[in-house]
Amino acid sequence: MNGAESLVRTLVDSGVDLCITNPGTSEMHFVAALDKLPGMRCVLGLFEGVVTGAADGFYRMAGRPAATLLHLGPGLANGLANLHNAKKARSGIVNIVGEHATHHLAHDAPLTSDVAAVARPMSDWVHTTATSRDVARDGALAVQVARTPPGRIATLILPADTAWNEAEACAVAAAPASRAKVASEAVREAAQALRQGPRSALLLGGVGVREPALQLAGRIAARTGCALLSEFNSARLERGAGRVLTQRIPYVVDSALDLLKDFTHIVLAGAKPPVGFFAYPGKPSLLAPPDCRFAALAAVDEDIVAALQGLADELDATTLAPALVARPQRPALPSGPVTLEGVAAVLGALLPEQAIVVDEAVSSGRGLGAPTQGAAPHDWLTSMGGSIGYGLPVAVGAALACPDRKVLALEGDGSAMYTLQALWTLARESLDVTVVVFANRAYQILRGEFANVGAGAPGQRATDMLTLDRPALDWCALARGHGVEAGQAADLQAFARQLQRGLACRGPYLIELLL
Amino acid sequence: MNGAESLVRTLVDSGVDLCITNPGTSEMHFVAALDKLPGMRCVLGLFEGVVTGAADGFYRMAGRPAATLLHLGPGLANGLANLHNAKKARSGIVNIVGEHATHHLAHDAPLTSDVAAVARPMSDWVHTTATSRDVARDGALAVQVARTPPGRIATLILPADTAWNEAEACAVAAAPASRAKVASEAVREAAQALRQGPRSALLLGGVGVREPALQLAGRIAARTGCALLSEFNSARLERGAGRVLTQRIPYVVDSALDLLKDFTHIVLAGAKPPVGFFAYPGKPSLLAPPDCRFAALAAVDEDIVAALQGLADELDATTLAPALVARPQRPALPSGPVTLEGVAAVLGALLPEQAIVVDEAVSSGRGLGAPTQGAAPHDWLTSMGGSIGYGLPVAVGAALACPDRKVLALEGDGSAMYTLQALWTLARESLDVTVVVFANRAYQILRGEFANVGAGAPGQRATDMLTLDRPALDWCALARGHGVEAGQAADLQAFARQLQRGLACRGPYLIELLL
């Protein structure tokens, strides 16, 4: 048994059974070990951002880490942006990064770089294994770290000789740690804050926006009249008909300030005090009123559900019925020219039961909330780190985690371009993902931001930097080039037809929605 | 004048007149300044690896740095792999990386990361500007660093408030430093080594593989009988009919060992002692015989041309005529099924005068050397850092630098996928680039490496990780999706026709060559 084999056995024995890969020469012994040993599903991505983003999506939906296999510093670097997103989403990932053999490093071969330094900014834990006999122990530790609630990025750097030299034994990761319970004092303070009634809010994050936390939050709101808020982004928000509704804090700073302006007390359950996505001249970073008081009920890594249960008990709210979103009469599908309102109505009407929506529609997606809130129960995933190009890879991972659920990826055309190679993995693995590309042929959000920062009206050079026309991207051709079937929609009837077609097939389908 | 405007003026006044961009909100004031002020050409890339790779290609061909404009830590991270390649190629680049406004950083907004830590592994110089009044001075310093011979990666991190707050003055970068002269002792030692005759070699790197260094090397070889070698990769190798030929050290370790086995003395001029690209069990890292003696004539950052002139003088070789590559009779174009030999013959026959060849054909490109060595004079660019995905972006930059020369990008299908978004920039800017995709539908090099590391014959899982079929990528569709015309070739006649078509048009054209 060589080091690579000891690692694969250790990962499988520790419950890691998915490896998303983009390997190179220094990882060939791991490829050989994955080939030889049973128990690991291997999925190839043609760009490393696909690999790390898929691991993020897998964790969000499966609740357990996948492994990635990446090639040296530059391969890891290509995966960093989506590791940033995964880290902010508190997803657990075990990155296996190959390195030159120990004796080769001194010679500064072309691919030599400081792999650990590349890893650190986007990892919670980084370790370089010294010898083949340490690989199993280090691998088990990496799994343990990745599983630490709510999830961590563990990056294990393995010099090639630790893969090909002899190993002695395998290892098994320690059982996942439990989430820390919150102090009863925090519960009492939160209860006191919410007794302010409608001028108080319960701001939910992390698993606070999933069942059963939402049920508890609904009971607490029924008792106190507090508002239920969620952060602008959520790793996995459970919503739809029959569920407790939270109001999402808007992206636009003025809208967020307006929403929050009357709150005197905000209780934080898995969330942080709201902060603007970006800073703007003359606008505050913090979105709550300066005199608003925060009560920290539970941090994102603590036992949020137990804390909410304790809060419901403290408020004598446990037996109350939470307000649930009614399922609206299924509306007639709208028709006519494409409008974002019409698109949202089509999505709300057609969203299938237990769909997983991966939302990277950016500016086109801002109005999707209300028209879809009464749709069939579904999960809504957004980018926690704000780095563009998270959507298609996360859709890959969500589909790998939940083969029996339909994934709907909503993509801005600008966003989808960063990691469009994910389309090939959708086709290779026959993943049940319908992709909608909102083709406005611009970095539309930046056109807004250009005005927001006070830069006035863009001239020709700025317009060129903010638009994707000249030439227009042909998303149907791009999809077919990656082996994914596709169709175009230029009005709402065509969009509904295309969406029905995509949702009806088992496997990937892409819709280019012309805006 | 705000900080952003002071930076743009400083860059333009310092001779930086190309900015390759993929901006975000925190860079909107720079976009506004680029919009408002004259003198800077702005080129948009739809992925940051395109941006940094294009800056590398521009420096290789223009000999002066372009600026990049990147969005925060994750945007920079997406550009790191090609910064790694650029750093190893000793290209000079001025990276402008936006950062959250200083006062916003403490609040840990989603896109917050340690930008400087992300930059450091792939930069020679990293600096974060403190206030808007420092932007011009720091920008001038960044240009000065980037122009330090042979070229350096300078990364300037600019918090958004340094862009929008008031600035006082512009600045101008100091004149580029001269290359250091080598000591006369080094010249004498090199001469002594080469007096060993045919058992000695002059190994050239950096500007040592460009005119006029090659002419001097040719004279030295004519005098001493030494071999003229070049490293496996060169940032810019000038070759073709009428030029001095160097023998490239092979990628395959056994071939390299065989080439070098009889040399007792190797003189290094801009090169390092040859090292294997990767380590393999039981094979050496260093490729020269253990008792081979190296004489360091000139390091890559020293005055290589003057050192070679000094060496030619010392050897009394200055008046000798170097051996030049003869221009062969233009051979008949081969026909029949596609073979790599036939493809190389077609390329050798059709390569236009002063073509710039960007070679990322990987396994398919190994046999291109001999059949093209007598082609019309041309430049041959390879990846100095070994990170895949360098080719199409470098072709963008080379075409921006040399609008009157034809660029020919030779791409493996696996390699081209990492940064295929470069195709859109080719179309947007009407760049005169013909792309040949060698579609073997595999990471063919890794299939070889799987055997090289002793892993035996790949099974199904390994085969799946090393092949790009299921589904096959359709490169013509991918090209058209990005707005680039394309055609397919399945035999050598069709390849010759397609290549003639691509070379005849002004603007981008892609050929999918089915292997």
CA of residue A394 relative to chain centroid, distance: 6
- The amino acid at residue A464 is D
Checking if the pLDDT of B267 tops 80, the result is: yes
H or E segment to which residue B40 belongs: none
A450 interface with B at CB cutoff 8 Å? yes
- CA angle at A28 for the pair A26 and A30, rounded to the nearest 5°: 105
Q: Which of residues 278-297 of A touch B (CB under 8 A)?
A: 278-279, 281, 285-286
Contact predicate A469/A441, CB 8 Å = yes
Average pLDDT on A175-200 reads 96
Residue B456: pLDDT band (50, 70, 90) is confident
**Nearest neighbour of A449 by CB, restricted to B25, B384, B476:** B25
Q: Does residue B248 sit in helix, strand or coil? A: strand
Residue B71's alpha-carbon distances to A82, A278, B31, in angstroms, are 14, 12, 12
Residue A449: pLDDT band (50, 70, 90) is confident
Contact predicate B317/B210, CB 8 Å = no
Chain A residues within 8 A of B77 when measuring between CB atoms: 77, 80-81, 84, 121-122
Closest CA to B20 of B61, B63, B70: B70
CA of residue A83 relative to chain centroid, distance: 10
Chain A residues within 8 A of B25 when measuring between CB atoms: 277-278, 445-446, 449, 452-453
- For an interface test with A, the pick among B8, B452, B460, B461 (most A C-beta atoms closer than 10 Å) comes out as B461
Terminal alpha carbon distance of chain A: 57
**Nearest neighbour of A29 by CB, restricted to B34, B164, B453:** B453
Closest residue in chain A to residue B74, using alpha carbons only: A81
In angstroms, rounded to a whole number, what is the distance separating the alpha carbons of residues A464 and A450? 13
B325 interface with A at CB cutoff 8 Å? no
The two three-digit tokens of residue B191, written as one number: 């001469």
Residue A331: pLDDT band (50, 70, 90) is confident
A28 interface with B at CB cutoff 8 Å? yes
In angstroms, rounded to a whole number, what is the distance separating the alpha carbons of residues A499 and A491? 12
- CA angle at A447 for the pair B45 and B46, rounded to the nearest 5°: 15
In angstroms, rounded to a whole number, what is the distance separating the alpha carbons of residues B249 and B258? 10
Question: Which pLDDT tens digit goes with each residue over A280-330?
Answer: 999 999 999 999 999 999 999 999 999 999 999 999 999 999 999 998 877
Closest residue in chain A to residue B484, using alpha carbons only: A471
Q: What is the ipTM of this complex?
A: 0.97
Nearest-CA distance from B280 to chain A in Å? Answer: 8
Tell me what pLDDT residue A330 has: 73
Closest residue in chain B to residue A454, using alpha carbons only: B29
The two three-digit tokens of residue B484, written as one number: 């680039």
Tell me what pLDDT residue A81 has: 98
Closest CA to A89 of A51, A60, A118, A132: A60
What 8-state DSSP symbol labels residue A352? P
- For an interface test with B, the pick among A278, A421, A441, A467 (most B C-beta atoms closer than 10 Å) comes out as A278
Tell me what pLDDT residue B330 has: 73
Question: Which pLDDT tens digit goes with each residue over B110-153?
Answer: 999 999 999 999 999 999 999 999 999 999 999 999 999 999 99
**Nearest neighbour of B113 by CB, restricted to A24, A121, A445:** A121
User: Are A81 and B78 a contacting pair at CB < 8 A?
Assistant: yes
Q: Does residue A409 sit in helix, strand or coil? A: strand
Question: Which pLDDT tens digit goes with each residue over A451-509?
Answer: 887 778 899 999 999 999 999 999 999 999 999 999 999 999 999 999 999 999 999 99
Tell me what pLDDT residue B25 has: 87
The dihedral through the CA atoms of B181, B184, B189, B191 has a sign that is: positive
User: Are B109 and A277 a contacting pair at CB < 8 A?
Assistant: yes
Cis amide linkage into residue B334, ω under 30° from 0: no
Question: Which pLDDT tens digit goes with each residue over A113-132?
Answer: 999 999 999 999 999 999 99
B507 interface with A at CB cutoff 8 Å? no
Describe chain B by its helix, strand, coil percentages, rounded to 5: 40, 20, 40
Nearest-CA distance from B377 to chain A in Å? Answer: 27
Strands of the A265-269 sheet, one edge to the other: A247-248, A227-230, A200-204, A265-269, A293-298
Nearest-CA distance from B490 to chain A in Å? Answer: 18
In angstroms, rounded to a whole number, what is the distance separating the alpha carbons of residues A309 and B424? 53
Chain B residues within 8 A of A123 when measuring between CB atoms: none
